[in-house]
Chains A and B, each alone.
Chain A
Amino acid sequence: MSLSRRELVLTLGAGAAGAMVLSFGLRTQAAGGGGAALGNYVALAPDGSVTLLARNPDMGQGAKSLLPMLIAEELDVDWDRVRVEFAPADAKRFESQYAGGSLATPDNWEPMRRVGAAARAVLVAAAATRLKVDPAALTTAHGRVLHAASGRSLAYGELAADAARLPLPDPKTLKLKDPKDFTILGRSHIGVDTPAILAGEPIFGIDMVLPGMKYAVYVKSPVYGAKLVSADLAAARALPGVEQVFVVEGIAPPAGAQIGLAPGIAPGIAIIGRNWWQANAARKVLNAVWDDGFGAAHDSGVYDRRAAELLKGPGEVQRAKGDVDAALAASHRRLEAVYEAPFLAHLTLEPQNCTVSPTAAGLEIWAPTQFPNDGRDAVAKTLGLPLEAVTVHMRRCGGGFGRRIMNDFMVEAAVIAHRAKVPVKLLWTRTDDIGHDYYRPGTYQRLTAGLDAAGRVTAYDTHAVSFSRDGKLVDGGEIDLDAAPGHLAETSRLRRSLIPTIASTGWLRAPASNALSFVHESFWDELAHAAGQDPIAFRLAHLRARLGTPVAPPTEEGEPQYDVRRMIPVLELVRQRSGWGTAPLPAGVGMGVAAYFSHRGYFAEVAKVRVAPSGDWKVETVWVVGDVGGIILNPTTAHAQVEGAVTDGIGHMMTAIRFEKGRAAQANLNDLTLMRMSAAPEVDVHFHLTDNPPTGLGEPALPPVIPAVANAVFAACGARVRTLPLTAERIQAARADGVKAA
């Protein structure tokens, strides 16, 4: 980390919501009395107010608040005197700047505290010089350095200019606080943007306004990869409010890569108007014709049939432990089932958008993005500009869920503004957004397992069908079974088959786990019932049987691996908190359980579901117990993330994207069943604190709720639904099957 202490943060417009950090890189002597910077993240004003930079995007997960809280804790300033701004996208200065993988907490837990401690150290050193005392005799609190022996103290604001001239210590040499001394962390703080949100202030990407700004739409084929044949640009130009209409030639990404992750842009037609509504209305007269016939073979019905064929075959063995076929042949009882999870769209409520201003050097960009530096890089490469010519400012994201990992919208806005030579805000419609999503890819999986006479799983075979692009597994189609219960069987095998697709795919909140949890934890429930055991007791028995097996070492990327010792207590606790098995439930009501390890978090959940005679279902309550380490850094946000993840996960069970002729058959929200107020459950959240560093919460609570609900439906009415979405029709059909089987 380059701690360039001489660079200065000038903060303008104190107290105004629109205050922006300007002029990074100016030297102290140019400050004009504005304040002093202590490293890259901390700026102090003479009046004692503190500005901290948040390096990560915020899409509602709270990183813009949490990262500065970590700094402020070690800096020893009062949180209510801190103003927070987003850092600009600058990988050189801020290194890792992204929202994804539930990694903001583990990635920043130490580094951001060390940033605060380093700034505190130079303030103490400056005070020691001023007071002519040993730095060891000084303490800090509430934005002041104190000399207890003499009763003297100095405010940080008084020391800022002196401190800014001192070299920052090596962050690694600093001693951090004992968590028991924390005054900010571990207590609930509302988000730093919350007052502005509640007042309706213009802080989201879509709210950006520039002088002279125009509004753009970008019309693309609903089939990914289709080229434009013809369009009536003149008709669009003739409409009121329309100022420019032009065709943008597509720039293909490198082979095997997708636009949005790699440089490139889909071909399309840009319409620029004096307001967005008129620009958008001009689409209707374009009569665009696309060369999209190649999409005809890409249809969900075709995919379903192909998957059924593939699952009859052997698949390609990805890995195997022991002789699965022999173990299955020797088993006391053998179970087999096919599970399916559909494609899903992200549906960030704020549609994709980006505002771009052409500058003398290049482009200045304001974007609601989860990966600002990737977007900056993609823009520069697509347009052939040096990276330094492109400036990216983060804007608050109206939801992310993994959609804004892709920066296709940023490149589109940049290309349009660069060509139009005016400041432009590009805004997608909801139909653009659903039609050009990077969908969670669907999966079809045949599971086969053997049980011995004592009800132990002796063999576990998975044949997973996913999708491929250019012969490679698609983004978001990763099949990692290490987190799934299947790995608890000593003898196991993973086979895979791939269906080529043209659909753009990507990562949806708790990627892979959000489908695998349903598949495997539902099947594990079937195994428990087949063994005649209580589903929690069955899981605990298999987890305990692994206690003697060492935990696998972290992956090359440093990802810790499943430690069953952490799952056992959360399962035991959720059994207790939910009252599992302690009282009879009314007819039509059932409780189901699931436990899943993902994104470093251990979560066990029990859902109570009511199923009506019609097959309509409603989740009444979900009990959640999670282990994400030894401290919950911002409890209100932590609980909110879990409540949201659980409710969102149930929403994943309600809907699907289906393809027809290579395009999504769903065009707007009226084509999708959404999680709404009346369907939302009560969620009871409990964190089980353990002696582990804190980890993230955006994702790991989501995967287990899906199988917990499916298992509760089975408990409520005997319907084992193995295909999502979970509809009343599927419940009725499965209920009939269950009766036949009985």
Chain B
Amino acid sequence: MFKLTINQTVHAVDAPEDMPLLWVLRDEIGLKGTKFGCGIAQCGACTVLLDGQPIRSCVTPVSAVGAGRITTVEGLTATPAGRAVRAAWESVDVAQCGYCQAGQMLAATALITATPKPTDADIDQAMDGNFCRCATYKRIRAAIKTAAGVSPVDHRGDAA
């Protein structure tokens, strides 16, 4: 039996200790916002925050979570950064299919919490693990900048 603190609520879960957190969230607790994409930490669809840090829940055994506080997309708006990210994702209209966007928003929230005014290089580094098959990257970048209150213009090509 594991006691998990998810989105500020404690859940008691009876699951095998090596069951990845992803499947505990989705199929034991019923929080479907966290998505399965690859199972090997390559796509980031399963990203959740553990004590504010992005982790890939598909390769994190439930037994490794301990007393850490987990944030999923369902609890994203509990922090100012999460609310800013969610609002920017809507105003910029980032989502196409939308399947990766929970992971993208959580990774973005962790980024702007740690780096309130991220540069393009910061965004590249923080977000490269979150694959978007619809390739909404232009809008993800713009939404992160919007949430952070920096100019949404992409300056990466200006050096040329």
Contacts and interface: CB of A to CB of B under 8 A. Distances in A.
A60 B96 CA distance: 4
Nearest to B133: A349
By size class, the interface of chain B is 35 or more
Contacts of A103: none
A59 B134 CA distance: 10
A677 B42 contact: no
A504 B78 CA distance: 47
B119 interface: no
A411 to B, nearest CB: 22
Nearest to B91: A190
Interface string A149-191: 0000000000000000000000000000000000000001011
A199 B36 CA distance: 17
B50 interface: no
Contact of B40 (A198, A349, A647, A668): A668
B149 to A, nearest CB: 19
Interface string A119-140: 0000000000000000000000
Contact of B101 (A197, A401, A637, A644): A197
A97 B110 CA distance: 41
A201 B34 CA distance: 10
B133 A680 contact: no
B73 A677 contact: no
Interface in B44-61: 45
Contacts of A199: 33, 73-74
Given A610-B160, A640-B139, A643-B138, A349 B28 contact: no
A398 B20 contact: no
B16 A680 contact: no
A674 B129 CA distance: 10
Q: Which secondary structure dominates chain B's binding surface?
A: loop
A194 B98 contact: yes
Interface stretch (A20-28, A255-263, A272-280, A472-480): A272-280
Given A349-B131, A644-B135, A648-B135, A278 B156 contact: no
Interface in B114-160: 123-125, 127-141, 154, 156-157, 160
B97 A59 contact: yes
Given A276-B23, A348-B133, A647-B135, A398 B35 contact: yes
Interface in B90-111: 90, 93, 95-102, 105
A640 B136 contact: yes
Contact of B98 (A188, A241, A398): A398
B17 to A, nearest CB: 12
24 contacts: A190-B93, A198-B90, A198-B95, A199-B33, A200-B32, A200-B33, A201-B32, A202-B33, A209-B32, A275-B23, A349-B100, A396-B98, A398-B99, A427-B36, A640-B93, A643-B138, A668-B38, A669-B37, A675-B135, A675-B137, A676-B129, A677-B127, A677-B130, A677-B140
